Amino acid sequence: MIKTDILIIGAGPTGLFAVFEAGLLKLKCHLIDALPQPGGQCSEIYPKKPIYDIPGFPEVLAGDLVDNLMEQIKPFEPGFTLGERAETIDKQDDGSFIVTTSKGTKHHAPVVVIAGGLGSFEPRKPPIPSIKNYEDKGVAYIIRDPEVYRDKKVVIAGGGDSALDWSIFLADVAAEVSLVHRRKDFRGALDSVEKVEELSKIGKINLITDAEVVDLKGEDELESVVIRHKDKAREEEIKDTHHFIPLFGLSPKLGPIGDWGLEIEKNAIKVDNSYDYQTNIPGIYAIGDVNTYKGKLKLILCGFHEAAIMCQSAYQRINPDKKYVMKYTTVSGVSGFDGSKKEAKREVVKSIN
């Protein structure tokens, strides 16, 4: 059985930063995530997308943010159980918890923190009868490695930010990019819409609106897509297509956590934000996009704030007889569990006799 001070369910940015804040308090963390690598959505869904609202970073790629967080928490030696989903939780007589994963791995901790983002995700698939035949054979719902599409013919469907952003990105990677949207108006960022229109005018993106993909063809792998225009009187086939990527968003689900007796509101875990982001079950906290409270903003930077506040409360729960006096890292530095030490150089003051 894996034992730790704080068990964090979800290894996205908020969960990773919680490791740092807990480390400052000399608390060890272990993280569980159903994905095979840390980083959550930032690693799995949009590692190459820039983020603009992280303090101190005018622009940072989602994947680079994860890499930086992993480097930041390295001195605190967190443990990871990856590729396994948290399934059940059992409260012990002493108030601690045992969490068991989908593969039977047991974890024991006095504090459990749910930082699972929006939960587990399932792609919203278009109603194309033949689409299942081509999954992993030319059809993908998430772009993980853009280099897969190098010099290939790609058709993207969708009208949101993901469809727009990836069409722009792949315009310089793929041999040909077609963007299909069922309306003329897009629901993504205006500058992205304008960029797609500009690339369309110079022939770098084949922009097809008022239309949708209705069929896929190919023997062993995808070979072409059939597009029906809005008037339904005309169909066209884009032949020699290597990849079809429908980007209609992801449907979030809490999964087994939703059966743990937590107070749920609109598919999110309700917490007490006036104090410490604790749930209705003492000892279980929820931070980041997975929680909800009055005035909630689903931003990474808000998750970072919630992680810091939560750790202070967790420390008092784990050490009820100790009083922690917060010290700024500019004063105390950062001491890792691995023996490393970061601190500001001390000024030497000499007295004159």
Q: Specify binding-site residues for FAD.
A: 14, 33, 41, 46, 86, 121, 289, 330
Residue 230, token pair as written in the block = 């809005």
Q: 């190459």: which residue's tokens?
A: 48
Distance CA 107, CA 90 (A): 10
Of 252, 328, 261, nearest to 290 (Cα)? 252
Q: 């150089």: which residue's tokens?
A: 345
Distance CA 158, CA 183 (A): 9
Please report, in range form, the residues annotated as the binding site. Answer: 14, 33, 41, 46, 86, 121, 289, 330
